[in-house]
């Protein structure tokens, strides 16, 4: 089976592409390398931008694919509120250009990298797939908009999709080859690890939430478990030929302080923590109901306990400290 992975040089995309190859799939990566790294790619790499139709058409002039996994997107909620045009253009128009390519080449399956940000601050916990969709950022809105576009491309053209709504991806590939390397880095685990490695002082955004220790609570999923879910989704589309959506999380919430304490334990470094004001739009608690993913997708996280997530992330960052 031949799979096109857009954004396959980035964090989750590169782990997924590698896991696909390990399981015998033929993989082609398409990436503009603005947020990804060519050294992350061990399959064929086509450098191009989904905003440029010519990049897609010329890059895949003689190529045929059985399915697409679509990661390529801008993904910083805070930045999206400062650059709404860029986020809507990239995440929606880029996706539509991809769908038009799929329509022309008769590619019938797409797995979409969506997000729990489409739910906003949840009214009911844990969050199910049927929860109210109320994004609180342009980023979340752009992902929800593309989910709706996928619905219409299914209805009109029969292109079947699975939306995978991630909670918080974390950790590094279990063989220590791939990890999280964003610039700028906004996620708590890599930022705290970089603080432990002496790269900067760690800022904790708010310690006065109505939670057990005053810090926000989040659901973390190991990147390798997340990557495996994309393969399960490809297999499910092939078997059922039916569009669907799944929340990908563990159903367990960890507070920011619990995460920081685990990083101190694994690293053996008692780095300093500076308390900063809350970030706008950060819900106090959000974690997934992953029952549907377990029962219908066969999703069974193996690496997503907090200790394993932090251990793999720590080992990768320590090894790659000089890379930023």
Annotated catalytic sites, by residue? 139
| Sequence-distant (≥ 6) Cβ neighbours of residue 15 within 8 angstroms | 173, 178, 223, 224, 226, 227
Pairing between β-strand 160-166 and β-strand 109-115 as defined by DSSP bridges: parallel
- For residue 273, which phi and psi values (nearest 5 degrees)? -125, 125
- What does the block give as tokens for 256? 């920011």
Q: Which residue has the tokens 């990147």?
A: 223
Strand partners, 30: 6, 46
Dmax over CA atoms of the chain, in Å, equals 57
């Amino acid at each position: 089976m031949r799979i096109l992975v857009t954004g396959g040089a980035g964090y989750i995309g590169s782990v997924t592409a590698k896991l696909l190859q390990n399981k015998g799939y033929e993989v082609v990566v398409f990436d503009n390398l603005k947020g990804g790294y060519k050294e992350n790619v061990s399959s064929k790499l086509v450098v191009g931008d989904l905003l440029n139709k010519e990049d897609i058409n010329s890059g895949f002039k003689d190529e045929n694919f059985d399915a697409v996994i679509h990661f390529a997107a801008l993904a910083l909620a805070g930045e999206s509120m400062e650059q709404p045009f860029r986020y809507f253009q990239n995440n929606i128009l880029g996706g539509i250009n991809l769908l038009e390519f799929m329509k022309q080449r008769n590619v019938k399956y797409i797995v979409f990298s969506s997000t729990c940000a489409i739910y906003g601050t949840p009214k009911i916990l844990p969050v199910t797939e049927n929860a109210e969709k109320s994004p609180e950022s342009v980023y979340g809105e752009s992902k929800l908009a593309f989910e709706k576009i996928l619905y219409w491309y299914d209805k009109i053209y029969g292109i079947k999709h699975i939306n995978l709504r991630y909670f918080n991806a974390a950790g590094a590939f279990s063989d220590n080859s791939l990890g999280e390397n964003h610039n700028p880095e906004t996620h708590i685990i890599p930022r705290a690890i970089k603080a432990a490695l002496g790269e900067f002082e760690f800022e904790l955004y708010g310690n006065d939430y109505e939670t057990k220790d005053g810090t926000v609570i989040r659901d973390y999923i190991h990147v390798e478990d997340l990557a495996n879910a994309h393969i399960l989704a490809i297999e499910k589309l092939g078997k059922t030929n039916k569009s669907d959506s799944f929340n990908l999380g563990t159903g367990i919430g960890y507070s920011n302080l619990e995460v920081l304490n685990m990083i101190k334990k694994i690293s053996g470094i008692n780095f300093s923590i500076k308390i900063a004001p809350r970030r706008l739009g950060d819900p106090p608690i959000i974690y997934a109901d992953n029952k549907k993913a377990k029962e219908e997708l066969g999703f069974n996280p193996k690496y997503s306990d907090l200790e394993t997530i932090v251990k793999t992330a720590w080992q990768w960052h320590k090894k790659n400290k000089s890379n930023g």
